[in-house]
C-alpha cells in the first residue's frame, strides 16, 4: 500500500484501470458473439460439391442458390450468403459445408458468416494484445521506477519548466551539468510546485549525465521520471509556471488526461473504413480507442495544472 501514496503510481493506475475494464468487457462481448456466430459453422460437419443454380437472391442480392447431393444421395437446394457483391457464374462448382439437420443453408470459406467469425476472432486478438501490452508497459514502468529509489542519491540543483505539446502539458526538471543541461520529464506531484524557475537543491537517484532514468526526492517526496533524460529542450511550447488554484485531485487529473479522448471517434471511423466492418467496427474501435487514449497520458505523465 506504500506505493499507492505516490502520485505517479496513482496516475498510472488511473489510466490503466479504465483500459482494463473496457478491454475485459469487450473481450466478454466478442467471445459471446463469436460463440454464437460460430455455432452454425461447427454444426456444418458435412461437405459436398455443389453447382450454382441462381444468383442475386435476397433483399440485398447477396444470396446464391446451389444444388448438391447430400450424404444420403438426396439432391438438396441450399442458399449461402456472400460477404459482398461479386459475380458468380451459373453452373460453377463449389465445395460447400452444411448441417445435415439443416440442409437448406450452406457455407463456404469467405462467405458472410465465416468472415464475421474471422472478424470477431481478429477483434479478440487485437483487444487481448492491447490489454497485455498496456499491463506489461505499466508494470515495467512501475518496477523500473521503484528500483530507482534504492540507488544512491546525490545532491543536484534543479529548476522546473512546463511544456505543452499537442493537447497536454508535461513537467520537466532541468539539471545543469558540466556537459550541458539535462532535461528530465517527471510525473506531476504537489511537491514539484515547490521547485520554480530558480534552481533549488534536491536529491537525485541516478546520474544526470549517464543514466536514462532519474528519480528525485523533493522535500521528502519521491518524484518519479515519466520518461528518459534528454540533452535538449523538449519540443513544444514553454508554458508559464502559474501556481494551480485549489487542490489538484485525481478527478482533476482524470479530466486533464481525458482531453485527447475526443479523438476516439476519428480512430473509430478510420478503423471501420480500413477494416470494412461498418458501424459495428466503428463502435468497437471507438470504445477501445477511448481506453487507450485515456491510458497514454498516464504513461508520459501529463501535468493537470
> Per residue in 221-252, pLDDT tens?
999 999 999 998 888 888 888 877 777 888 88
Lookup result for grid cell 452444411: 98
Q: What value does the mean pLDDT take over residues 151-178?
A: 89
Look at residue 162 and tell me whether its pLDDT is greater than 70.
yes
What percentage of the chain exceeds 90 in pLDDT? 59
Closest of 43, 4, 11, 1 to residue 186, by C-alpha: 11
* Cα–Cα distance for residue pair 229/104, rounded to 1 Å: 67
**168 CB neighbour count, 10 Å cutoff:** 19
> What does the pLDDT read at residue 100?
93
> What does the pLDDT read at residue 1?
47
Closest of 209, 232, 234 to residue 300, by C-alpha: 234
Cβ proximity of 283 and 10 under 8 Å? no
**291 CB neighbour count, 10 Å cutoff:** 26
Give the orientation angle of helix 250-257 with respect to helix 7-43, to 10 degrees: 60
Closest of 267, 230, 240 to residue 163, by C-alpha: 240
Residue 64, strand partner residues: 80
Q: What value does the mean pLDDT take over residues 251-261?
A: 87
Cβ proximity of 12 and 298 under 8 Å? yes
**Main-chain dihedrals φ then ψ at residue 182, nearest 5 degrees:** -110, 130
Q: What value does the mean pLDDT take over residues 13-42?
A: 96
Question: Which are the contacts of 110, defined by CB distance < 8 A and separation ≥ 6?
Answer: 83
* Cα–Cα distance for residue pair 58/45, rounded to 1 Å: 25
Amino acid at each position: 500500500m506504500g506505493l499507492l501514496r505516490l502520485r505517479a503510481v496513482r496516475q498510472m493506475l488511473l489510466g490503466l484501470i479504465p483500459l482494463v475494464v473496457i478491454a475485459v468487457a469487450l473481450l466478454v462481448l466478442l467471445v459471446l458473439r463469436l460463440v454464437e456466430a460460430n455455432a452454425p459453422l461447427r454444426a456444418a460437419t458435412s461437405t459436398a460439391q455443389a453447382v450454382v443454380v441462381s444468383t442475386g437472391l435476397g433483399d440485398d442480392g447477396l444470396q446464391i442458390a446451389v444444388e448438391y447431393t447430400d450424404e444420403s444421395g438426396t439432391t438438396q437446394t441450399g442458399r449461402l450468403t456472400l460477404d459482398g457483391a461479386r459475380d458468380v457464374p451459373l453452373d460453377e462448382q463449389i465445395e460447400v459445408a452444411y448441417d445435415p439437420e439443416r440442409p437448406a443453408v450452406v457455407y463456404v470459406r469467405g462467405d458472410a458468416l465465416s468472415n464475421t467469425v474471422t472478424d470477431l476472432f481478429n477483434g479478440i486478438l487485437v483487444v487481448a494484445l492491447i490489454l497485455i501490452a498496456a499491463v506489461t508497459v505499466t508494470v515495467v514502468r512501475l518496477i523500473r521506477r521503484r528500483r530507482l529509489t534504492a540507488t544512491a542519491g546525490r545532491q543536484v540543483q534543479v529548476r522546473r519548466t512546463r511544456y505543452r505539446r499537442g493537447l497536454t502539458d508535461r513537467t520537466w526538471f532541468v539539471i545543469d551539468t558540466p556537459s550541458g543541461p539535462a532535461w528530465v520529464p517527471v510525473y506531476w506531484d504537489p511537491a514539484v510546485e515547490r521547485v520554480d524557475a530558480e534552481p533549488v537543491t534536491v536529491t537525485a537517484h541516478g546520474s544526470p549525465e549517464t543514466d536514462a532514468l532519474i528519480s528525485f526526492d523533493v522535500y521528502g517526496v519521491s518524484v518519479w521520471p515519466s520518461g528518459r533524460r534528454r540533452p535538449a529542450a523538449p519540443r513544444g511550447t514553454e508554458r508559464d509556471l502559474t501556481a494551480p488554484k485549489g487542490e489538484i485531485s485525481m478527478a482533476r487529473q482524470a479530466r486533464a488526461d481525458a482531453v485527447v479522448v475526443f479523438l476516439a471517434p476519428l480512430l473509430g471511423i478510420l478503423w471501420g473504413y480500413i477494416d470494412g466492418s461498418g458501424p459495428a467496427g466503428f463502435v468497437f474501435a471507438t470504445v477501445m480507442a477511448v481506453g487507450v487514449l485515456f491510458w497514454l497520458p498516464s504513461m508520459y505523465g501529463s501535468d493537470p495544472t
